[in-house]
């Protein structure tokens, strides 16, 4: 059974760097094809794909946010970390991590999400 859970701060100040951790179980980055994505959703708005990392350390980023995002994985801890620099009020959203498989591209298991507010 695959489960994922996001952790990190729920309040950050403008210009700060947000660091979110996705801890998962039921799969491993030692398995070919495994991937974890980050997706966010501002209040009342649509889903927005942010980034994804695969078992082989291939990394993908949203072109519009590429300069602000860094995704890394810790295979031994079954964790993925997303850093988003220079946070702004428009980055207020619920941030989700989700499981994906290479060559599939869909997100079949999601974490519960973590709400992040940006305010001074």
Partner 1 sequence: DIQMTQSPSSLSASVGDRVTITCRASQSISSHLNWYQQQPGKVPKLLIYAGTRLQSGVPSRFSGSESGTVFTLTISSLQPEDFATYYCQQSYSSAFTFGQGTRVDIK
What is the closest distance, in whole angstroms, from the C-beta atom of residue 93 to partner 1 in the complex? 13
Q: Which is nearer to partner 1, 90 or 106 (CB)?
A: 106
Q: Which is nearer to partner 1, 14 or 42 (CB)?
A: 42
Q: List 73's β-bridge partners, or say none.
A: 80
At 66, is the secondary structure helix, strand, or coil? helix
3-state helix, strand, coil in the chain (%, to 5): 5, 50, 40
Q: What is the DSSP letter of 58?
A: -
CA distance 97 to 80: 9
Burial class (CB in 10 A: 0-12, 13-18, 19+), 94: middle
What is the closest distance, in whole angstroms, from the C-beta atom of residue 31 to partner 1 in the complex? 19
Q: Which is nearer to partner 1, 47 or 85 (CB)?
A: 47
Residues at the interface with partner 1 (CB under 8 A): 37, 39, 46-49, 52, 60-64, 96, 104-108, 110-113
Q: What is the DSSP letter of 105?
A: -
What is the closest distance, in whole angstroms, from the C-beta atom of residue 21 to partner 1 in the complex? 18
Q: Which is nearer to partner 1, 16 or 113 (CB)?
A: 113
- For residue 42 the two structure tokens come to 């501002």
What is the closest distance, in whole angstroms, from the C-beta atom of residue 112 to partner 1 in the complex? 6
């Amino acid at each position: 059974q695959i489960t994922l859970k996001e952790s990190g701060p729920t309040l950050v100040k403008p210009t700060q760097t947000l660091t979110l951790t996705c801890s998962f179980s039921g799969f491993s980055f030692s398995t070919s094809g495994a991937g974890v994505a980050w997706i966010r959703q501002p209040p009342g708005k649509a889903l927005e794909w942010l980034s994804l990392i695969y078992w082989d350390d291939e990394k993908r980023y949203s072109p519009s946010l590429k300069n602000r995002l860094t995704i890394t994985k810790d295979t031994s801890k079954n964790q993925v970390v997303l850093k988003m620099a220079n946070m702004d009020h428009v980055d207020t959203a619920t941030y989700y991590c989700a499981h994906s498989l290479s060559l599939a591209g869909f997100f079949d298991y999601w974490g519960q999400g973590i709400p992040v507010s940006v305010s001074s």
